[in-house]
Amino acid sequence: MWKSIPSEQIEENIFDVVNQLNIGRDLITETELKEGLLKLNLWAGKKAKGATAYEAAGRYLNLGLELLPTNSWESHYELTRELYVETLEVEYLNTNFERAQKLSEFIFARTTKLLEQVKVYELLIEFHTSQNQSKQALDTSLNVLEKFQLTFPKKISKLTIIKEYLSIKFSLSRYSVDNLANLPEMNDPYKLAAIKIAISAIPVAFGVNPNLFPLLIFKMVDLCLKHGNSPLSAYVFGSYSIILCSAIGDFETGYNFGVLSIELLNKYNAKEYKAKVYLMFNLFIKIWKKHLKETESELVESFQYGWLNGDIQYACECAITYCANILFRGKNLEETAKIQKDYLTIIISSQKKYYINVASAWNDCVQYLLSDSSERKLGILAKLDQNYADSFIQANNQAGILEISLIKLMIFIYLKILYKQ
């Protein structure tokens, strides 16, 4: 039996081994051997997920669920929980959202420890965000953060934001930006988990509750200063650089914090945050010191990395930003339209409604600029309002509304230039 095969050989040939054993799984009756096959399917599923073979990963993991004994949550709690969470993540990646929803409810019903539920909450928040379900995403984020004793005012005034900014600025004044890379290691699992949830909340806060956005960032920075650095710090200090550049106007310090985020990304080899950090750096930071063209290669690389490593949300953001940037810097419209169409096709396959709508709207903008037909131009303008803007308004998604407003502004400028000619 496979028990006699060295683990190194099994790892090298895991898919062949598991595929053969799965064919004859109905013949395996011994409890110990069934558990062994279950673990092999979990192993194969995780390896397939790492290779972005999500459909294959789903098959292995779901078969693993079938092999679980009836009382597995009592007899094999950790193994069962790990298998369910892995399956949940893969079902999201395979866009089997209904199945993923049922799995998440099942896991919540059988787990009681908050730390064990963090990954499920992260996936749930990302799902709501990507489906333009902004209220659900934000409510879930704030409810979980409250469980970690991180609370925020229901109504956030500008005075509150200024007060919190001055407080965190004072705390940071004890360090040079370079020295922040050498903070002690953060080891508290609850603080690490709290930052993970806050990171999940950032995109929806930016879009739905802009006043909450800086408070989340200040809270994350404060946690790093008090409890140390971790791979998450690359995102934390990168997001702080957005505040400095976009809100405060301190471009030099903001750029330095952006560079710090890249340094921390490399220091910790934080691959899971690469698409996130490079998106922030190229969308909000680099543009203040470098030409727009210099953002393009990193955005394309970050899209590819995010897409191939399961960070579909930020991969979509990188693709949309890249397509907008090449338009802004004056790339040939026909070439831009072709590039946008290719990325839109990929984004549509993600079934993430928010990103599909934003990418489609930018694509329609280019089609408007290319079109000679007055009727088609009017149709595109109507589509921007009826198909996209209305859905963002209904979801109170201010980031989406901003995207449509930016597109309309670009069309208006084009018409004004055309009229003058």
HSE of 332, CA atoms in CB hemisphere, 13 A: 4
The predicted model gives 93-97 an average pLDDT of 89
> Of 97, 128, 132, 92, which Cα lies nearest the Cα of 356?
132
Residue 180 has phi, psi (to 5 degrees) of: -65, -25
Stretch 82-101: mean pLDDT = 93
Q: How far apart are CA 248 and CA 186, in angstroms?
A: 28
Q: Is 23 exposed, middle or buried (0-12, 13-18, 19+ CB in 10 A)?
A: exposed
Q: How confident is the model at residue 418 (pLDDT cuts 50, 70, 90)?
A: low
Environment class of 353 (CB within 10 Å of its CB; exposed 0-12, middle 13-18, buried 19+): middle
pLDDT at 61 over 80: yes
Average pLDDT over residues 181-187: 96
Please report where in the chains the tokens 């309309």 appear, as a residue: 408
- CA distance readout (Å), 199 to 68, 214, 272, 277, 345: 34, 12, 12, 11, 28
| The residue count for the chain | 421
Query: What's the pLDDT score for residue 398?
Result: 86
SS3 category, 185:
strand
Q: How confident is the model over 209-225, as pLDDT tens digits?
A: 999 999 999 999 999 99
User: Measured between alpha carbons, how far is 124 from 89 in angstroms, rounded to an integer?
Assistant: 10
Least confident interval from 21-25, 253-257, 339-343:
21-25
350: amino acid identity, one letter: S
Q: What share of the chain is helix, strand, coil (3-state, %, to 5)?
A: 80, 0, 20
Contact 241/254 with Cβ under 8 angstroms? yes
Query: Would you state the pLDDT for residue 413?
Result: 84
Contact 239, 275 (CB under 8 A): no
pLDDT for 166 beyond 80: yes
What DSSP string runs through 324-367? HHHHHTT--HHHHHHHHHHHHHHHHHHT-HHHHHHHHHHHHHHH
User: CA-based angle 93:96:98, to the nearest 5?
Assistant: 130
Closest CA to 120 of 151, 144, 138, 149: 144
For residue 279, pLDDT over 90 is answered with: yes
158 pLDDT more than 60: yes
- Assess whether pLDDT exceeds 70 at residue 48: yes
Residue 47, pLDDT > 70, answer: yes
Residue 366's pLDDT band (boundaries 50, 70, 90)? very high
239 has a pLDDT exceeding 70: yes
Lowest-pLDDT range of 32-36, 187-191, 327-331, 344-348: 32-36
pLDDT value at residue 247: 93
The residue-averaged pLDDT of 149-160 equals 94
- Rounded mean pLDDT, 281-292: 94
Contact 91, 61 (CB under 8 A): no
Q: Which of 250, 225, 252 is nearest to 237 (CA)?
A: 225
The pLDDT of residue 25 is: 78
| pLDDT band, residue 107 (cuts 50/70/90) | very high
- Average the pLDDT over 380-402 and give the result: 89
Written as one letter, the residue type at 102 is K
Q: What percent of the chain has pLDDT over 70?
A: 96
Local confidence band at 22 (pLDDT 50, 70, 90 cut-offs): confident
Alpha-carbon span 324 to 337, nearest angstrom: 11
State mean pLDDT over 141-152. Answer: 96
Single-letter residue type at 126:
E
Which two tokens mark 61?
Answer: 């993991």
Q: What is the mean pLDDT of the chain?
A: 91
Q: Name which of 18-32, 285-299, 342-356, 392-406 the model is least confident about.
A: 18-32
pLDDT band at 30 (very low <50, low <70, confident <90, very high): confident
Q: Do the beta carbons of residue 408 and residue 384 sit within 8 Å? A: yes
Q: Does 23 have pLDDT greater than 90?
A: no
User: Residue 342 has which token pair?
Assistant: 């290719």
pTM of the shown model: 0.87
Confidence at 8, pLDDT banded by 50, 70, 90: low
pLDDT value, residue 3: 53
The whole-number pLDDT of residue 6 equals 56
pLDDT score for 78: 95
Q: Rounded distance, CA 325 to CA 113, Å?
A: 44
Tell me which amino acid residue 61 is.
Answer: L
Contact by Cβ (8 Å): 302, 317: no
Q: pLDDT at position 309, please? A: 87
